[in-house]
Amino acid sequence: MKLRFAPAPTGFLHVGNARLALVNWLVARRHGGTFLLRLDDTDRERSKPEFAAAIEEDLRWLGLDWDEFLRQSDRLDRYAAAAERLKAAGRLYPCFESEEELRAKRERRLREGRPPVYDREALKMTREQYERALANGKRPYWRFLLSARTIAWRDLVLGERQVRLQAVSDPVLIRADGTPLYTFASVVDDLETGITHVVRGEDHVTNTGIQLDLYEALGGDPAALAFAHLPLLVDAEGGPLSKRLGSVSLRQLRRDGIEPAALAGYLAALGTARDPRPAMPRELVAEFDLAQVSRSPARFDPQQLLALNRRALREAPFEAVRDRLPEGADERFWLAVRGNLDLLAEARVWWEVVRGTIVPPALPGEGEFLRAALDTLPPEPWDETTWSAWTEALRTRTGRSGRALFRPLRLALTGEEHGPDLKTLLPLIGRERAAQRLRSAATSAS
């Protein structure tokens, strides 16, 4: 078994790309197969080295590796050789129509109630007409002559699928500048690198029919190639994801503080009945099965991803985050705050609470209570029993309990309405800072 992930280095990887990369990797690893990373970089104008480097970096961040690697730009001679074979077989023919001419043809066919497919007018061109066009400075682009048949296959996700080739325009395989298009280069690569399974988005179903016809024309056995088309992602309301979140790059998610384990666990479970769990890809191999993927669109909900990220942080050991915490933060601090973080960057806020300077909010009418809190503040050393002993003494002195007791203390000590358990946070703040903040809050409340 051999699978491939083949992004074009024309931008950063987004969540849709990441899902396809992950699924291909999981299938290959579960079945002891080979995973190939292929950069489809034949678009000279849009492909950029910085995007190619970013793709590799982002895939590694997500926890993916690959057994083989290639760039299509290194294989142009292979595409040229394959094109010559198709020309010799009469399956690749030259065309000179401009985009304006093609548009006019499509509009005319639509007015006449016919499908807007290419009319194969270029097949009627004589040798003399072809030579004359070249002499006049024109350069042809090349179309593949599709078979007059219906291509059918059993999709590993969608079930029985078929494409009636007569209803599809002969695809352009070679641009006028001689560079191959995706449809052509991809098939040549899949054939020559021994790809056995192609896992990609449902929007490629028609393209699969075309590619199977081309695969066979190049000498391949279509029966040796299996396809799985994943239904496209939609947003939480069921709308097209591409219009809102589909362009969210892995780079942006990383900057926002999403953990790779949260994203991998979420993407692996999308479209299945399994509850997602934060886990790196290697931990998900044994449980992943393409047969569990639904034929219905999968909903990508940022709130679910954030909840999974919260869970990933709550379970993360100190060593896993140590180098991304504020300087000086130790394991004691991490264990105290990790259960209250949506994103790792929020740890900096709590580091400021326990080691920095904060200004408590105004607490009108609480001056007397806060002075009582200061008077009853226990001497150090402090541990996790200090909070309960202090608040019990304060309850006895003031008669307060519940929210009336705890809220002004939390606000005065942390500046926040909610946060980590104060029995663990208070010893980290220390008596000196706690006293200073209570004094300041009492003064402003008077």
Binding residue ranges for ATP: 243
Distances (CA, A) of 100 to 97, 104, 107, 122, 136: 8, 6, 11, 15, 19
Label each residue of 44-99 as H, E or C.
CCCCCHHHHHHHHHHHHHHCCCCCEEEEHHHCHHHHHHHHHHHHHCCCEEEECCCH
Burial of 440 (0-12, 13-18, 19+ CB in 10 A): middle
Pairing of the two strands 172-174 and 141-144: antiparallel
H or E segment to which residue 128 belongs: helix 127-135
Under 8 Å between Cβ of 59 and 264: no
- Using CB atoms within 10 Å of the CB of residue 74, give its burial: 0 to 12 exposed, 13 to 18 middle, 19+ buried: exposed
Peptide bond just before 381 cis, omega within 30 deg: yes
Ramachandran region, residue 7 (left: φ > 0; alpha: ψ -120 to 50; beta: rest):
beta
Distance CA 290, CA 270 (A): 11
DSSP letter assigned to residue 170: P
How far apart CA 241 and CA 236 sit, in angstroms, is 9
Identity at 15, one-letter amino acid code: V
Q: Which residues are annotated as a binding site?
A: 243
Residue 384 has phi, psi (to 5 degrees) of -75, -5
Q: Are 372 and 363 in contact (CB under 8 A)?
A: no
Count of residues in the chain: 446
Contact (CB, 8 A) for 62 and 22: yes
Side chain identity at residue 326, one-letter code: P
